[in-house]
Amino acid sequence: MCNLYSIRKPRDEVVGLFGISHVDDGVQLELPAVYPDTTAPVITLDDNGARNLTMMRWGFPPPLSAKPRPVTNIRNIKSSYWRNWLKPEFRCLVPATSFCEWTDMRPKIPHWFALDDTRPAFAFAGLWRPWRGERRGETGDHRLFAFLTTEANDLVRPIHAKAMPVMLCEAEAWDVWLTGSTDEALALQAPLPASRLNIVEKNILADAVGQGA
């Protein structure tokens, strides 16, 4: 389960890379640490199919039978809980430069994963939804997001065997996720090859104290 990631790239670089047409007021980039139930930048499509960069809060409301904490990761896409949100209008891209997983066994050591030491931007395959309720003391209308996970690859598995986020690293995958059929989009729910991923920090929360990208 990924419950910590970073997005540490300048606004102009993110806008150019993802072909974003509009940036909402108040969008924050260069975030060294994004935690559950905090806000982060998310890419959605407007009614004309143009890409919009906006802020949303990380974590869907939990099912009534679950623990009362936000659902940040999506693994079982066959669940009826996710069915309504798999349509293209509720798919989104979540820009990131690295993500953190802790070792399954004690001592719990954080490991930061990125494409390489320069930490290029990529995107998590996300879903979003409107919701009305109370989050972090704010009652009203919210826009919430979560992102897909999949089986861990050979690099992540020794650290965190259960799962890893679905990472989309090319423009073609971004297009498919945002506009493809449900079957086409969900075919992307696969681990990034281990050869394309690196452990760029461990033992300390380097990104969280501003040393990462």
What would the DSSP string read from start to end of 75-137? --TTSHHHHTT-SGGGEEEEEESEEEEE-SSSS--EEEEESSTT---EEEEEEEEEEEEEETT
Q: Tell whether the torsion through CA atoms of 192, 193, 194 and 197 is positive or negative.
A: negative
Q: Report the pLDDT value the prediction gives residue 65, as an integer from 0 to 100.
A: 64
Tell me how far CA of residue 76 lies from CA of 7, 167, 197, 203, in angstroms: 26, 17, 24, 31
| CB-CB contact of 213 with 6 (8 Å) | yes
Q: Domain residue spans in the chain? A: 5-207
pLDDT of residue 139: 87
Burial class (CB in 10 A: 0-12, 13-18, 19+), 74: buried
Cβ neighbours for 19, distance < 8 A, ≥ 6 positions apart: 51, 171
Pairing between β-strand 138-150 and β-strand 73-74 as defined by DSSP bridges: parallel
Intervals of the chain under pLDDT 50: 205-213
Q: What CATH fold (topology level) applies to the domain 5-207? A: hypothetical protein yedk fold (3.90.1680)
pLDDT at 206: 45
Give me the pLDDT at residue 210, please: 40
The pLDDT value recorded for residue 105 is 84
Give this prediction's pTM. 0.92
What pLDDT is attached to residue 47? 93
